[in-house]
Structure 1
Amino acid sequence: MGVGVALGAARQAAMFGLTAARRRLLVSLEMNNKDRAYAWFLGWMANNSNLAAKSRASTWLRSHELSVSTVFEQGQNRASFSGFDITAGPGMHWFRYRGAWMQVKRERETRATNISTGVPWETVTITTLSRDRDLFLQLLSEARDLAMQGNEGKLSVHIPDSTRWRPFGQPKRKRPIKSVVLDDGVAEKVERDIRAFLDRRQWYADRGIPYRRGYLLYGPPGSGKSSFIQAIAGELNYDICILNLSERGLGDDRLFHLLSNIPERSIVLIEDIDAAFNKRAQSNEDGYQSSVTFSGFLNALDGVASSEERIIFMTTNHIQHLDPALIRPGRVDVPILLDDASPSQARRLFTQFYEDGEGINSVISEKEEPLDQEQLRALASSLEAQVRKAMDNGKRVSMAALQGLFILNGPRAAVSKCSSLFAQR
């Protein structure tokens, strides 16, 4: 036994009041950095370390091995510095939890890294007396609840990492569903359908119907497809798993495994499905063809061994390019057209932007006199009439183009410049 190991064992025995012969009374819990609990626990330790430092509590032992995480608060125009989080670095640490001493050993293997992220393999091992083993679940539950508090009002985006899903970036703030202006009744129809599906688990089971639901949002670019999916996920308190069928290294087996192991309360999003499969042929802008076959994709969607309890949203700008086998019921249960702006959509978006009479970003628009509600309604009617006339002449305008116009202009300027956006479709 090396000197460091012997000294570590001696310190451990002394801390727990055990002789070498009775160390078998210890129990250990190991977590690796692929498990969500790993980040939750380190965050919990950082939070309690900071609280102990502020209150000068003696229940947390000082450590010589620390790590730092710089925290920023994002403002509207720039990131403003907030502070630092100090947590346990690689090494040995001790703390007391609900009267029980616990040892934490954080180890990092620099020779083994995640190929896609470059993050080294890490493990955390918590050791305590066997009699206190029930505290592990209490501690992890507390760490999870603390992490969830930080994500309240947000949704997480996941991407594939080998055969697993991992969070991508920081959680995003939920987008109110009313902020996505669709044609009359469309948003309500989709939300009702999803909620009805979620409430009918037993109904599906009783009739032997696979418990999964597929949606296809189709229509021209800028019609709000991706924004609506983000908003509906936030409304349901679901996360989003983004799947790119053209990803290099993605094959039928890996695709099947990913779709069979979706995180709980998550929507799978496959954007621009026509870019992956044009009819039954693979397609990709840079000429690269992934290993996912059309038949493999269909089997992953609804084959004999495909997963249950799944909601999938697919989007396309060109539904005519999709094979009928892909969009049949059972794979696509609810096709929804999200088109260019209708007259009523344009009016509702205008009113949503300018209902305060000033506009969202009036500081960079032409100076305009404040509007009263009657003047605002008159301008909204004028915009609605312009869109209706353009449609009668075969011209259209996207919701994204209108939104960009409204952001950069006051209400009067927006209405006067609107005609320049109309394009022949």
Structure 2
Amino acid sequence: MNTITGGGAGVNGAQPVRGLPKSILQYIPEPIQPLFENPLFSAGFGLLGVGSLVAIGRKGFQSVLIQGRRYFFVSVEVPSKDKSYHWLMDWLATKKDKTTRHVSVETTFHQHESGEIVSKINFIPSVGTHYVFYRGRVIKVERSREKNVIDMNSGNLWESITLTTLGTKRNIFQKLIEEAKIMALDKEEGKTIIYTSMGTEWRRFGHPRRKRPIGSVILDKGISETIITDVRKFLGNADWYNERGIPYRRGYLLYGPPGTGKSSFITALAGELQLSICILNLAGKGVSDVTLNQLLSTAPQRSIILLEDIDSAIQTNETNQPSSSSSNQSSNAISSGGMQYQGYSGPSSTMQYQGYGSSLTFSGLLNALDGVAASEGRILFMTTNHLEKLNKVLIRPGRVDLQIEIANSSPYQLEKMFLKFYPDHQELATQFVDKVKHLSLSPAQLQAYFMNFSTDPVEALENVNQLNLNK
């Protein structure tokens, strides 16, 4: 019988199987040396050691990568809810290499001066990883989409774009996003953007509109200049307000009969001062005190907040006759879109909306306009056809700083309207004014009349009897 020992020869003169080498074994205490002389144990110990070294090496390599990414790479994440996300997507559509195989389709629309809308198909980077070259730097673009997360504002799946590049400063991203912003704004230069309220968010309404010349809306003498001067003064006077502790906001009320150009002038004013318009519908479903405050505080910068026909959106009917009888008690109601708020007994009272999907109160509206939480830097325009229907509390100074009547056409407007359609016919314009100045005509009526005789000022003068029907 042959045995295996630590020394001596094995079977048939072969070298015996050994455990650990003596050079290592001598450092192991003698009581446990026999254990390490076992070849099976020593082989397992070796594998364990190799595995441990590999694991330590792998972890160290990962740590080096993490630290290297932290100190030698910069990155920025742009979520889809941010405005710059859409700027960046448009920028990537123009900068991305045409050989890229993985793209998404995005259809945009452009409106010509004639009103014709033309569609354009853009290819943008799809979900995944892409690389672009910008200002001598390679930028890694990672577009990700969460399958189970919904952006509650837009209703779309939550998306984000992460930009990463080698370096220690993030100013490269500031330049990139600024370039994308300028490119996007250049497409809208000279146009007026309209926003409408949707829940707690402002969304674009239609396409950017061609700027309407301020001279195309003819108001009575001096009115247009007064409003423009006042708004310009407000926009350039923020420090004056702050130094005196005055809330930096301005309110305007334009009142007068229908068709006198109130809304048209506001549109032209926005174009003249390069402002956008935010149409706020108080009678919309889901409008509440909370959403109203949110909308007013998040309106786009350099915009006009427009409350059209405020008398129809919010109506108050007050009865101040005291009575001990419940049937004769002071009763006030605020209606919104045909529904009513019941139980309003004064300006400071809270009225509960008795309808579905809304909890807007009159006191909530007043607080949103000039309360503690009211937003700063705001330009608010209200329009109404019936000034007498508005509660004086709503239009007091502080909420409405400038009230201007936009009445039916004055002799000045009659002449300017005639010359607008028939330039270089001053004598005919004077005769036209003499014939119709006794009539109460709105600019909308005059415009419709002149369009019937768009090429013949003589016929327009001779057929003024048609305007008598509107007397």
The TM-score, its normalising length taken from structure 1, stands at: 0.80
Q: Give 1:386's aligned residue.
A: 435
The answer as to whether partners of 1:342 and 1:387 remain within 8 angstroms in 2 is no
CA 250–136 in structure 1, closer or farther in 2 if over 3 Å, else same: same
1:419 matched to 2:457:
no
Q: Give 2:37's aligned residue.
A: none
C-alpha separation in 1, matches of 2:275 and 2:182: 17
What is the CA deviation profile of residues 38-69 of structure 1, one whole-angstrom value per residue up to 9, with x for unaligned ones? 111111112224xx65xxxxxxx624223242
Of the three residues 434, 439, 448, the one matched with 1:404 is: 448
Query: Any residues of structure 2 matched to 1:193-232 within 5 Å, and which?
Result: 193-232=230-269
C-alpha separation in 2, matches of 1:133 and 1:208: 37
Of the three residues 43, 50, 74, the one matched with 1:27 is: 74
C-alpha separation in 2, matches of 1:32 and 1:212: 31
Corresponding residue SS for 1:122? strand
Q: Give 1:393's aligned residue.
A: none
Q: Give 1:325's aligned residue.
A: 393
Residue correspondences, number: 374
Q: How far did 1:298 drift?
A: 0.7
Q: How far did 1:111 drift?
A: 5.1
1:256 matched to 2:293:
yes
Query: Any residues of structure 2 matched to 1:184-333 within 5 Å, and which?
Result: 184-279=221-316, 281-287=333-339, 290-333=358-401
CA 70–303 in structure 1, closer or farther in 2 if over 3 Å, else same: closer
Q: How far did 1:295 drift?
A: 0.8
Q: Unpaired runs of 5+ in structure 2?
A: 1-63, 318-332, 341-354
CA RMSD of aligned residues (A): 2.6
The answer as to whether partners of 1:252 and 1:291 remain within 8 angstroms in 2 is yes
CA 115–382 in structure 1, closer or farther in 2 if over 3 Å, else same: farther
C-alpha separation in 2, matches of 1:114 and 1:286: 32
C-alpha separation in 1, matches of 2:115 and 2:315: 41
Of the three residues 49, 66, 76, the one matched with 2:104 is: 66
Opposite residue 449 of structure 2, the aligned amino acid is: L
C-alpha separation in 1, matches of 2:219 and 2:192: 22
C-alpha separation in 1, matches of 2:374 and 2:194: 22
Q: How far did 1:340 drift?
A: 1.4
What is the CA deviation profile of residues 256-275 of structure 1, one whole-angstrom value per residue up to 9, with x for unaligned ones? 12212322211111111101
The answer as to whether partners of 2:111 and 2:207 remain within 8 angstroms in 1 is no
Q: Give 1:45's aligned residue.
A: 92
The higher radius of gyration belongs to: 2
Of the three residues 399, 415, 428, the one matched with 1:347 is: 415
Mean alpha-carbon deviation: is it higher for 29-38 or for 144-153?
29-38
Q: How far did 1:132 drift?
A: 5.5
The answer as to whether partners of 1:386 and 1:419 remain within 8 angstroms in 2 is no
Of the three residues 200, 203, 210, the one matched with 1:173 is: 210
Opposite residue 241 of structure 2, the aligned amino acid is: Y
The answer as to whether partners of 2:103 and 2:123 remain within 8 angstroms in 1 is no
C-alpha separation in 2, matches of 1:284 and 1:201: 34
Q: Unpaired runs of 5+ in structure 1?
A: 1-17, 54-60, 356-372, 391-395
Opposite residue 122 of structure 2, the aligned amino acid is: D
Q: How far did 1:117 drift?
A: 5.6
CA 183–153 in structure 1, closer or farther in 2 if over 3 Å, else same: same
Mean alpha-carbon deviation: is it higher for 26-35 or for 323-332?
26-35
Corresponding residue SS for 1:139? helix
CA 238–77 in structure 1, closer or farther in 2 if over 3 Å, else same: closer
The answer as to whether partners of 1:240 and 1:267 remain within 8 angstroms in 2 is yes
